[in-house]
Every structure is written in structure tokens, then in C-alpha cells.
């Protein structure tokens, strides 16, 4: 098939291959424990489901929604930002709705780069930054996230111009949280060089013992930055496809121009559910965060006993773990799957600087996580304490 060149230029999608390997293991009768995908196993809280049901029954939601999202939804976003992140937003100009944040991230380069222009992307990183740059004819330039720098890019090493910079904290896949000082440095860097800063804040409310800072809480950020955000992770709504972008009004207007020509907005009943999520009772989101914290504590203790190296995550539901000496990330994840039916995502799937790591996603119940740890002993040898 003669696909367009831009499709051929996309990097190979490792996760699709991983899915195939998982499938094969299941067909062989292996009881697979999938700690690979970052998709919450907990159901969407009830009050949100009820709001959708009510919205779906109201015929006024059945027609094309507005491109930018209902004002009530954008106001709910602004209220959440004020309450949680201490950031004031004008819901008319500084908030737009997205059909999931991936949609906005994927469309943004179309609004801001010309063919051949450079886009700074974190490596390892969420694969969409690189792919959307390529689809828009741009050139991804990787910013390595190194363990010795706390998985923050070293901006003093960035050479040459660029149109856009993607950042993502709390970070997928490393689970690193950026201190506000780093975000300030990034904003200054981008403002000085005329780079538009696109911050992916999908895990913004998923700090365990920290309040991860919004880039918009940094002075001057509004001149240069847009923040992408999502209902998916905080409220267990990955299937619902609802996100939003906030920040610089001109940048948002550019993105909206692209979107207006491609999609027709998020279903209004889903936006009403989003309002219930953002402004409704806090209990359910707090509870699911507590579940992830318990899983983290359990998993972290198990990894320690297994003698693996990692930094206990302070946010997100990921754990980024060094592979044992002498292994590659693909080799180690292959050994876990073929040997004991445990799925971890190989770090190279997130870029070449992810080599040497695997990512575990704690989106399975405690019993399954405990079982995965026990099985991993069979691959790694008995825990040190019992040798
Ligand atoms: C899950 C995730 C997203 C996408 O979220 P949606 O709103 O469901 O599209 C974006 N960025 C990162 C880093 C993610 O992990």
C-alpha cells in the first residue's frame, strides 16, 4: 500500500508489537498480569456517570456542540484551576475543551509549525509529541531526560532554534515531578527564544504527597505557554474522551482554528459529566488516589526486596525501574512476559533514552500486583533477605 511519506516516517509503534506478544501468551493459556498499559482499572465515579445519563436524556445535548466547548464546562475548568492550582483563568479566552487531551496534543503542531521546523520533545516521553510533530511535517529534536538530572531536561544543552517545546510533569513514563523552579526556567527559556511551551499536565492532580505545580502558576507563563489537561486519569474516564487546554489565548485560538476544520467538539452530555467531575464531590478522586498510593507502597516494597533500582514515585500510577545489569529494556520485559506472564512496558518504547528501564503501571488490584511480585522472584531469583 502506498501510504503517504509522513506515515512511513512515523517511528515503529512498539506498543502494538507488545500487544501482539501479550495476545500470543494469552492464547498459550498464560494468566497474563498486565502492568503495561496506563489505563485506570477503577470505574468512573458514580456521580459522574449519573451526570452523563441525565445529560444524554436531555435533547438539547444532541446537536453539534460548539467548537470551543460549553461555557459551563470552561467555567468548571477555571474554578478547578483556581481552587487546586491557584491559577486564575478567563473561561472565555483561556480555556478550550478537547476530545481527550491526546486530540489537542496531536493537533497542536499543525497550528504552530511549518515544514522542517524543529520541535523539542522529551525522551523518554509520551509518543504522541514526536508523532504529531512528524505528521505536521516538523522535525522532532529530543531532549534527554536523565536520571542524574531528576528526569528533567538540561535546557543549557539545547542548541538551535525551535518552534515548540513539549514538557510533561508529573511525567509519563518516569513519574518525575518537576519543581516549580524548573518550570520557571523552562518558561524563561521559551520566552527568551520565542518558543511556544506546551505542557502536558495529564497527572496534575495525581500527586501523593506533593501538589504538582501547573506551568501557569509561573510568572510570565501566560505569554508563552499552553497547558493540556485531561479528565482521563484523575477521574478514571479514559473511555469518555474529554480533556481541555488552558493558557495563552492566542495559542488556543490557533489550535481552535485547526480543530474547527477537523472535529466538531466533545459531546455536550460528556461535558456535563466533566463539570460533575471537576466541581462535584472530591471524595471519589481522593479515594482512587489513595488506592494508587497503597498499590505504590506495596509494589515499591516488593521491588526493594527483589533488589531492583528505582525512585519511589511521588505522583502518577507509574513506576520507572532500572533493568538488571546486563539486560536491555526489551530483553527484560520479554523475560517477564515469556517467563512469568507479567507485562511491563520496555523503556525504549518511549524513546532511545528510555533504554535501560521498564515502566510498570499500577492499574491492577493489589492481589494481582502481589502475585506479579511473587512471580518476578522466579525471574530475578529469591529476595535477598531469604537467600
Ligand atoms: C494518558 C495521557 C494522555 C492522554 O489523555 P487523554 O486525555 O485520555 O487523551 C496525555 N498525556 C499523557 C502523558 C498521558 O499519559
User: Ligand 1 centre from 334 Cα, in Å?
Assistant: 25
All three cell numbers of 156, joined, read 543549557
Residue 92 above 50 pLDDT?
A: yes
Closest CA to 350 of 339, 361, 341, 342: 361
Atom of ligand 1 nearest to the CA of 102: 9
Are residues 27 and 88 part of one domain?
Answer: no
Atom of ligand 1 nearest to the CA of 242: 7
| Total of domains in the chain | 2
User: Ligand 1 centre from 232 Cα, in Å?
Assistant: 7
Atom of ligand 1 nearest to the CA of 233: 1
> Nearest C-alpha to atom 11 of ligand 1 is from which residue?
202
Buried b (16+ CB within 10 A) or exposed e, 343-378: bbbbbbbbbebbebbbbbbbbbeeebbebbbebbee
Element (H, E) at 258: helix 249-260
Are residues 166 and 37 part of one domain?
Answer: no
User: Ligand 1 centre from 123 Cα, in Å?
Assistant: 16
Per-residue pLDDT, 386: 41
CATH of the domain at 324: 3.90.1150.10
Are residues 376 and 232 part of one domain?
Answer: no
Range of the domain at 340: 5-43+283-386
User: Ligand 1 centre from 267 Cα, in Å?
Assistant: 19
The residue whose CB lies within 8 Å of the most ligand 1 atoms, and thus the one to mutate among 36, 101, 270, 320, is: 101
232 lines ligand 1 (CB under 6 A): yes
Phi, psi of 262 (to 5 degrees): -120, -45
133 lines ligand 1 (CB under 6 A): no
Closest CA to 145 of 361, 354, 357: 354
Other CB atoms within a 10 A radius of the CB of residue 56 amount to 16
* pLDDT classification of 176: cutoffs 50, 70, 90: very high
**With pLDDT > 90 as the criterion, what percentage of the chain qualifies?**
92
Per-residue pLDDT, 65: 97
Are residues 296 and 188 part of one domain?
Answer: no
All three cell numbers of 307, joined, read 533488589
Closest CA to 118 of 98, 100, 143: 143
Are residues 290 and 197 part of one domain?
Answer: no
In whole angstroms, give the CA distance from residue 351 to residue 122: 9
* pLDDT classification of 200: cutoffs 50, 70, 90: very high
Mean pLDDT taken over the chain: 96
Per-residue pLDDT, 387: 39
The tens digit of pLDDT for each residue in 96-155 reads 999 999 999 999 999 999 999 999 999 999 999 999 999 999 999 999 999 999 999 999
Residue 255 above 90 pLDDT?
A: yes
In whole angstroms, give the CA distance from residue 168 to residue 120: 12
Per-residue pLDDT, 385: 45
Are residues 304 and 366 part of one domain?
Answer: yes
> Nearest C-alpha to atom 4 of ligand 1 is from which residue?
102
CATH of the domain at 195: 3.40.640.10
Per-residue pLDDT, 14: 80
Residue 41 above 70 pLDDT?
A: yes
User: Ligand 1 centre from 206 Cα, in Å?
Assistant: 13
Amino acid at each position: 500500500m502506498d501510504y503517504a511519506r509522513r506515515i512511513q516516517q512515523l517511528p515503529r509503534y512498539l506498543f502494538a508489537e507488545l500487544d501482539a506478544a501479550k495476545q500470543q501468551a494469552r492464547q498459550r493459556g498464560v494468566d497474563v498480569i498486565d502492568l503495561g498499559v496506563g489505563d485506570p482499572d477503577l470505574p468512573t465515579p458514580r456521580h459522574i456517570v449519573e451526570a452523563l445519563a441525565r445529560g444524554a436524556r436531555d435533547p438539547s445535548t444532541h446537536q453539534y456542540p460548539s467548537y470551543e466547548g460549553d461555557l459551563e464546562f470552561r467555567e468548571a475548568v477555571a474554578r478547578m484551576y483556581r481552587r487546586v492550582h491557584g491559577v486564575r483563568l478567563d473561561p472565555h479566552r483561556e480555556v478550550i475543551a478537547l476530545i481527550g487531551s491526546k486530540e489537542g496534543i496531536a493537533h497542536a503542531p499543525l497550528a504552530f509549525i511549518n515544514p522542517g521546523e524543529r520541535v523539542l520533545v522529551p525522551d523518554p516521553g509520551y509518543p504522541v509529541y514526536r508523532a504529531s510533530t512528524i505528521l505536521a511535517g516538523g522535525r522532532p529534536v529530543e531532549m534527554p531526560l536523565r536520571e542524574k538530572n531528576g528526569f528533567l531536561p538540561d535546557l543549557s544543552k539545547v542548541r538551535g532554534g525551535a518552534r515548540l517545546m513539549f514538557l510533561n510533569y508529573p511525567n509519563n513514563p518516569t513519574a518525575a515531578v518537576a519543581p516549580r523552579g524548573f518550570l520557571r526556567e523552562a518558561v524563561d527559556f521559551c520566552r527568551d527564544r520565542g518558543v511556544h511551551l506546551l505542557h502536558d499536565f495529564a497527572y496534575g492532580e495525581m500527586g501523593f504527597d506533593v501538589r504538582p505545580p501547573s506551568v501557569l502558576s509561573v510568572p510570565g507563563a501566560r505569554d508563552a505557554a499552553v497547558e493540556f489537561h485531561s479528565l482521563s486519569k484523575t477521574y478514571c474516564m479514559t473511555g469518555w474522551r474529554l480533556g481541555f487546554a488552558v493558557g495563552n489565548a492566542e495559542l488556543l485560538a490557533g489550535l481552535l482554528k485547526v480543530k474547527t476544520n477537523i472535529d466538531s467538539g466533545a459531546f455536550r452530555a460528556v461535558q456535563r459529566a466533566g463539570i460533575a467531575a471537576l466541581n462535584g464531590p472530591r471524595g471519589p478522586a481522593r479515594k482512587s488516589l489513595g488506592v494508587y498510593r497503597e498499590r505504590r507502597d506495596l509494589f515499591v516494597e516488593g521491588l526493594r526486596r527483589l533488589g531492583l533500582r528505582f525512585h519511589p514515585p511521588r505522583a502518577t500510577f507509574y513506576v520507572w525501574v532500572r533493568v538488571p545489569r546486563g539486560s536491555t529494556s526489551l530483553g527484560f520485559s520479554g523475560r517477564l512476559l515469556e517467563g512469568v506472564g507479567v507485562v511491563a512496558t520496555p523503556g525504549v518504547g518511549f524513546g532511545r533514552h528510555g533504554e535501560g528501564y521498564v515502566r510498570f503501571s499500577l492499574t491492577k488490584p493489589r492481589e494481582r500486583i502481589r502475585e506479579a511480585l511473587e512471580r518476578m522472584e522466579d525471574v530475578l531469583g529469591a529476595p535477598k533477605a531469604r537467600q
